[in-house]
């Protein structure tokens, strides 16, 4: 049985998931990495297993029983799972009117329902041990939705809401819930999304068309975020180490904002919300019997 913290990370074959997998291994921790099709990245599987980790197949579209069986298998490898990272996700792009129902359903299955099932599967073991960390990777869009990303934002907002409630529910058992909220990072995330081309009403200079052009630029390397630095922040937050982790633990923060762009849009959202609250205080208080 491993004496080092044991991580379980979904979406380990690319982007922030791969960066976090590598960073945790570099710190001497044990990692069970997962992806939908490990056969596509044999070099990454070999890299992880050479350092004492394991790589499992996990398809977010699998039914509840298969995901539960996968989690039981993962927990049996090293005897426990200390830090579970729900990172695997993708982005559906397009106007809220244009995105087909089938894409909406699949988006919610991958980005919300699969992390929920994984979390439910690991909670019994964490409760028994009275310890554990669940780190759910959200997005700045989950806090501050933009045109053309409404469906993706809804899936992340659902994760945010469930995580907020879950944190209070499991704290008495010694389990901590964290929400990582990254901005734009230099990964292949934008290119891996599903795009519903905007209908004529939403194309060109419409906010949807403009936003889609910006998202496409991210796939060409316009994003400024460094995935390795993001991985370090997530590692410190989950382990309570380093300057960032010490701050998060001391203040008992639920959310971990990653990237100056994420901070800016969140700050603008809070400013607007404050304006709304201040303007409507008397009206809100006028409705009691």
Written as six digits, the tokens of 26 are 């570099």
From the list 23, 155, 156, 163, the catalytic residue is 156
**C-alpha distance from residue 37 to each of 51, 76, 113, 185 (Å):** 20, 21, 19, 23
Q: Verify whether residue 155 is a known catalytic residue.
A: no
Number of H helices and E strands in the chain, helices first, is: 11, 9
From the list 95, 138, 139, 196, the catalytic residue is 138
**C-alpha distance from residue 18 to each of 21, 57, 208, 264 (Å):** 5, 15, 30, 26
From the list 23, 54, 95, 152, the catalytic residue is 152
Q: Verify whether residue 90 is a known catalytic residue.
A: no
Written as six digits, the tokens of 125 are 């073991």
How crowded is the C-beta side of 186, counted as CA atoms within 13 Å?
A: 10
Q: Verify whether residue 138 is a known catalytic residue.
A: yes
Written as six digits, the tokens of 87 are 């990172």
Coil, helix or strand for 4?
coil
Catalytic residues: 138, 152, 156
């Amino acid at each position: 049985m491993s004496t080092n913290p044991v991580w379980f990370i979904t979406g380990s074959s690319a982007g922030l998931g791969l960066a976090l997998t590598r960073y945790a291994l570099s710190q001497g921790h044990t990692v069970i990495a997962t992806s939908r099709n490990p056969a596509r990245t044999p070099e990454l599987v070999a890299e992880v297993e050479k350092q004492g980790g394991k790589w499992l197949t996990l398809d977010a579209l699998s039914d509840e029983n298969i995901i539960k069986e996968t989690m039981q298998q993962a927990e049996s490898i090293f005897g426990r799972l200390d830090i579970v990272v729900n990172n695997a996700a993708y982005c559906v792009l397009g106007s809220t009117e244009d995105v087909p129902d089938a894409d909406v359903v699949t988006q919610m299955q991958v980005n919300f329902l699969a992390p929920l099932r994984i979390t439910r599967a690991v909670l019994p073991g964490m409760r028994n041990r009275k310890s554990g960390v669940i780190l759910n990777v959200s997005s700045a869009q989950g806090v501050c939705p933009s045109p053309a990303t409404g469906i993706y934002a809804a899936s992340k907002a659902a994760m945010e809401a469930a995580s907020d409630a879950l944190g209070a529910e499991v704290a008495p058992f010694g389990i901590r819930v964290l929400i990582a909220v990254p901005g734009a990072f230099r990964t292949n995330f934008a290119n891996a999304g599903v795009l519903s081309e905007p209908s004529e009403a939403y194309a060109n200079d419409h906010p949807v068309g403009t936003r889609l052009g910006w998202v496409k630029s991210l796939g060409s390397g316009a994003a400024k975020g460094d995935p390795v630095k993001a991985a370090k922040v997530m590692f410190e937050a989950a382990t309570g180490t380093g300057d960032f982790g010490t701050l998060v633990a001391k203040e008992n923060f639920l959310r971990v904002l990653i990237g100056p762009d994420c901070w800016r849009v969140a700050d603008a959202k809070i400013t607007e919300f404050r304006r709304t609250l201040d303007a409507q205080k008397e009206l809100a208080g006028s409705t009691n019997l």
